[in-house]
């Protein structure tokens, strides 16, 4: 079973110069994503799954899919810990 990630309720976003600023409205906490993180965020926000994101990033950057998967999952763990995404089985 694959875990699905979605944007958590109450998270506001603004893209600026290829980066994305995320704000948890209830706490005022913010987080900045670099251009690659922005690609991951946009894909998740549009309903794409982790496998699809990994495939796309690997193809775009010519990187090893296992390394990309590890990096994407590490980002998602961070976003989850900060309350910016939520999961569903």
Per residue of the chain (89 residues), give pLDDT as tens.
578 888 999 999 999 998 999 999 888 889 999 999 999 999 988 889 999 999 999 999 899 999 999 999 999 999 999 989 998 76
Token readout for 16 is 């600026």
Task: Give the relative orientation of helices 50-61 and 35-45 as an angle to the nearest 10 degrees.
Answer: 140
- The maximal CA–CA distance of the chain, rounded, in angstroms, is 39
Global pTM value: 0.87
The single-letter DSSP state of residue 11 is: E
């Amino acid at each position: 079973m694959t875990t699905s990630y979605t944007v958590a309720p109450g998270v506001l976003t603004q893209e600026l110069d290829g980066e994305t600023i995320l704000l948890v409205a209830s706490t005022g906490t913010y987080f900045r994503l670099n251009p690659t993180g922005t690609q991951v965020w946009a894909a998740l926000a549009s309903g794409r799954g982790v496998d699809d994101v990994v495939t796309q990033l690997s193809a775009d950057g010519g990187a090893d899919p296992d390394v990309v998967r590890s990096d994407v999952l590490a980002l998602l763990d961070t976003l989850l810990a900060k309350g910016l995404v939520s999961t569903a089985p």
